[in-house]
Structure 1
Amino acid sequence: MKLKIPQYQLSEVLNMMAFKGISEADIKTMMDLGILREHYYRYNSTIFKAGEITEELGIVIKGRVIVENVDYWGSKSILSSALPGKVFGETYALSGHKLMIDARATEPTIVFLLNAQDIMSGKYNSYPWHLQMLKNLLLLSSRRSLTLSLHIFYIKPKKIRERVSYYLSGLASSLGTTEFDIPFNREQFADYLNVDRTALSKELSNMQSEGLIEFKKNHFKLLELDHEELT
């Protein structure tokens, strides 16, 4: 069976935050130098594995990557879902710390792997793109800190409805719209919120019956938010 490898245009890549201020020629130069490389991953392929050390961070070009936290006993919980333009593994690539996460493709996926240690080493200071890439890495690192802080905020409430409401409200605010797709299927959404899948499905149905939301699979529309209930 012939593999269906996702296709992309380099112009799409240039619009991604990781390559802000970077030209097509700059990307080709980084690839020639081995700092940046393209890799295709099949469904459920592991990209990063807990316990390993990586100097590279991943940038999703096409497809989707799930990032999971793995504890000592092998239990996993979803930390984030990376869609095209999103970055994963940057904290470990920048710090040199052993990975405490697994990253895997949840569909056929193209990833650019960027060697963060090479960018920070200074040996490419003479290249015109070097300073801009350093700025981009700093911005990406700060955004990762925000993402992790938001996840803690979302799962802090005890009630499932509060966790759902906080997450959907936060996503609506960041996207600037009350109708959107979440980057999870139902099982992944339950895992991300650290709740039981059946209990989550029941609560979503209750919220829909009460006229708070409409949803179909991973598509949601916020109809009303009872802020008094969230306090």
Structure 2
Amino acid sequence: MDQIQIIAECPLFSGMTDMEIRGLVEEIRAIKKYYRKGEVLLHAGMVPGEFGIVLEGCIHILREEFSGSTTLLAQGMPGEIFAEAFAAAGEPSLVTVEAARDTEVLWIHFGRMMRRSGTGRAQQILVENMMQILAKKNLFLAGRVAHLSRRTLREKVLSYLGGQAARQGSNSFEIPFDRQGLADYLAADRSALSAVLGKLKKEGVLTFRKNHFTLLNEDVDAENAGKGGKV
């Protein structure tokens, strides 16, 4: 796929023509950089003036613990944006961003983008899109807090899966994590997570294969998550 098409899939440029996107990318002097698997794009504690758009490959967004361990918070695929909240706020990054495989990123300077001259259609769309992106990121983080605030791992799992079902409008859906990734997202041990999923499957609450899940009980939600025992 042409990289302009990938950039066009990024929510930041939603509603723009390819010509408008090319003009903006050139005017704000966006920079492409290539990273090998395992290479760090952004260290926790850095104040990024730029945010990134994944063009090729995949990134992992990690939280580094005091003990030296890391927790996977999210991953970014081609067309997805990252570090925009820290760049917008001018605050130190709370996360480390690492290339999960060989990856190419388009870096955009936030201040240069927002100070871009012009009040035309493309500029208006750009500002509106960025506001929506930041708002959705806040909602995403609020959702994760809601999942992690559940008392038991069973409740956390059902809260997350119920949220995914609601978001995708179906009781049968795929999640963006493998088993280890889901364990990291829920701040849980992988073996404990597997035990919970196995128990839920045995009870007829859900079925799953790899990252595809089907909730068999339409009433499964955060309020019902604790029923049927604790783990």
When normalised by structure 1's length, the TM-score is 0.85
**1:65 matched to which residue of 2?**
59
TM superposition shift of 1:181: 2.3
Provide structure 2 residue ranges, at least 5 long, that are not aligned to the other structure: 227-231
Counterpart of 1:63 in structure 2: which amino acid? G
**1:77 matched to which residue of 2?**
71
What is the CA–CA distance in structure 1 between the aligned matches of 2:86 and 2:219, rounded to whole Å?
39
Aligned residues: 224
Q: Is the 8 A contact 2:10 2:81 kept in 1?
A: no
Q: Is the 8 A contact 2:10 2:53 kept in 1?
A: no
What is the CA–CA distance in structure 2 between the aligned matches of 1:166 and 1:35, rounded to whole Å?
42
Q: Does 1:221 align with 2:214?
A: yes
Seen in structure 2, the aligned counterparts of structure 1 residues 147 and 116 have a Cα distance that, compared at 3 Å, is: same
**1:114 matched to which residue of 2?**
108
What is the CA–CA distance in structure 2 between the aligned matches of 1:87 and 1:169, rounded to whole Å?
25
Seen in structure 2, the aligned counterparts of structure 1 residues 61 and 221 have a Cα distance that, compared at 3 Å, is: farther
**2:184 matched to which residue of 1?**
191
What is the CA–CA distance in structure 2 between the aligned matches of 1:62 and 1:210, rounded to whole Å?
41
Q: Does 1:26 align with 2:16?
A: no
Counterpart of 1:42 in structure 2: which amino acid? R
What is the CA–CA distance in structure 2 between the aligned matches of 1:72 and 1:15, rounded to whole Å?
37
Where does 1:114-193 land on structure 2 (aligned, <5 Å)? 114-120=108-114, 122-125=115-118, 128-193=121-186
Seen in structure 2, the aligned counterparts of structure 1 residues 84 and 179 have a Cα distance that, compared at 3 Å, is: farther
Counterpart of 1:69 in structure 2: which amino acid? R
Counterpart of 1:80 in structure 2: which amino acid? A
Q: CA RMSD in A?
A: 2.3
TM superposition shift of 1:43: 2.4
Provide structure 1 residue ranges, at least 5 long, that are not aligned to the other structure: 1-6
**2:193 matched to which residue of 1?**
200
What is the CA–CA distance in structure 2 between the aligned matches of 1:9 and 1:189, rounded to whole Å?
30
Which of 13, 33, 39 is matched with 1:39 structurally? 33
What is the CA–CA distance in structure 2 between the aligned matches of 1:119 and 1:32, rounded to whole Å?
11
**2:42 matched to which residue of 1?**
48
What is the CA–CA distance in structure 2 between the aligned matches of 1:108 and 1:218, rounded to whole Å?
23
Q: Does 1:97 align with 2:110?
A: no
Please list the CA deviations of residues 6-58 of structure 1 after superposition, one character each: whole Å capped at 9, or x if unmatched. Answer: x5453343243111122212222233235323333332332211121211112
TM superposition shift of 1:101: 0.6
Q: Residue 78 of structure 2: SS of its match in structure 1? A: coil
Q: Residue 136 of structure 1: SS of its match in structure 2? A: helix
**1:230 matched to which residue of 2?**
225
Q: Is the 8 A contact 2:88 2:110 kept in 1?
A: yes
Q: Is the 8 A contact 1:37 1:113 kept in 2?
A: yes
When normalised by structure 2's length, the TM-score is 0.85
